[in-house]
Amino acid sequence: MKVSLAKKLLLAFIGLTFVVLLATLSLARWSFEQGFLDYTNALEQQRLTRIAERLSSLYQQRGEAWSAISSQELNQYLDDSLRPPPPRHRPPPNDKLRPPRSHQRPETALVNTQQSLLAGQLPQAKESDWIRVPIRVKQQTIAELITASKRHFSSPQATAFSKQQWITSAIIACVAMGLALLVSIRLTQVLLAPIRRMLLHVSQISNGDYHVRLDEPRNDELGRLMKDLDRLTHQLEENQSARQRWIADISHELRTPVTVLIGEIHAIQDGLRPLGMTQIHSLEQEVERISHLIDDLYQLSLADIGALRYQFYPLLLDECLINCIDKARVSAERKGLHIVLENIQPAWVNADAQRLTQLFHNLLLNAQAYTDAPGTIKISQTNTDDQIILCIEDSAPSVNAADCQRLFEPLYRQETSRNRRNAGAGLGLAICQKIIEAHQGRIAASPSLLGGMRFDIFLPRYQETK
């Protein structure tokens, strides 16, 4: 049996209220009973004090000897103390009745200093529960009055009063539980309202509707959760748009060389162009372009799913960099570009040599493709205690600073002065970022002071463990 969150909250509120109410009423009841019994015992203490004063006077009048006072007279003193006090006004002449005794006579005893019983009856309770009041004459204790303290309600009046208090407490508890039920229902509705909105929102997201937003102006935890859901929805919407752009861009990139291939083949078939080495070389270039695009897509897909293999071992970063520069120098000079090295020095890194070579090759190829001749490609190095910073920058043209980080998005290229006249599919920088991240580093793009682009590569230095 499934219990809804609303029922759980309602039961929790009602249960908590019941426990708190039960504890409060129980403590109040216990406090009342203890206070009432303490009050009764205080009255009994006062009664014994009055008897002690009267017996002290009687003792002095009879020559300061208990033997001069009969036990019947002493018992009469004890019995008279049980009657209520006389009225403040004289009773009518025909009312000759004495005030009645209290309903239940407490056990009261008079004992001398040797604890011998002089009058009355010793209480049946334990001595630890006795109330003792000394009788003094001339600062000397001559006897004691003893009675039992109250530990429970014994008189009918007290029992009836206690029962009435129980009934009143039960009525208060029922009224409080009724109010708690109403408040709990309303509170549950208020708390669950935003949760139900979020459930509906998640249901819409799961159905592919990424345009809905909660936009709830709350500052509590539920408000933060709603904002997180809105950010998630926005991210899913962007991912969907990126996926659609990705498919469209890939289709476009594949369609261009395929269209050229089909055109060349049709021209040869129609006899418009002879089948010679020139035509074969042209067809080969388009096939290589398709092959390069497919290989880049494959590499990027492997990097996205974490399946790109790496073999890490300590190596000198400068040696790997110099080898890549030497291979790129000839093609760069052929395009009228000059490669400048600055502060390249030995530095150890824990890396995959093949992937670092791919990284430097892509960055140098990107610089050659998007730098006007005559131009400059500058490569510099900075070492710190824990990382190596490589800077690869080129001369004009450049891109807007706001678009620099978007260069690492797959298939992204800006249609500005850094045009796509010599460009590939726009996957090289995305692959570079994946390689850097696999090496626990990062790469950043920004406009260069030379007028072109600047790429800063941050790699952790290899720390030899002893």
15 with 144, same domain: the answer is yes
The predicted structure's pLDDT at residue 307: 66
The predicted structure's pLDDT at residue 2: 72
- Count of domains forming the chain: 3
290 with 402, same domain: the answer is no
Rounded Cα distance between 463 and 466, Å, is 9
Residue 92 lies in a domain: no
203 with 225, same domain: the answer is no
197 with 233, same domain: the answer is no
Residue 308 three-state SS: coil
For residue 199 the two structure tokens come to 């459930």
330 with 296, same domain: the answer is no
Domain extent for 283: 221-304
- Domain CATH code at residue 431: 3.30.565.10
387-403 b/e (C-beta count within 10 Å ≥ 16 → b): bbebbbbbbbbbbeeee
- Domain CATH code at residue 251: 1.10.287.130
For residue 131 the two structure tokens come to 């109330």
pLDDT tens track for 3-17: 787 888 888 888 888
290 with 403, same domain: the answer is no
Q: 376 vs 288, which has greater pLDDT?
A: 376
Nearest-5° Cα angle at 340, 334 to 345: 135
The predicted structure's pLDDT at residue 188: 86
pLDDT tens track for 256-305: 778 878 888 888 888 888 888 888 888 887 888 788 778 777 777 777 77
300 with 324, same domain: the answer is no
233 with 345, same domain: the answer is no
325 with 406, same domain: the answer is yes
Cβ-based neighbour number of residue 58 at 10 Å: 16
The predicted structure's pLDDT at residue 315: 93
Is the pLDDT at 23 greater than 60, yes or no? yes
8 with 132, same domain: the answer is yes
Rounded Cα distance between 328 and 292, Å, is 18
281 with 387, same domain: the answer is no
The predicted structure's pLDDT at residue 229: 87
β-sheet with 337-342: strand ranges across? 337-342, 375-383, 387-395, 451-460, 442-447
151 with 193, same domain: the answer is yes
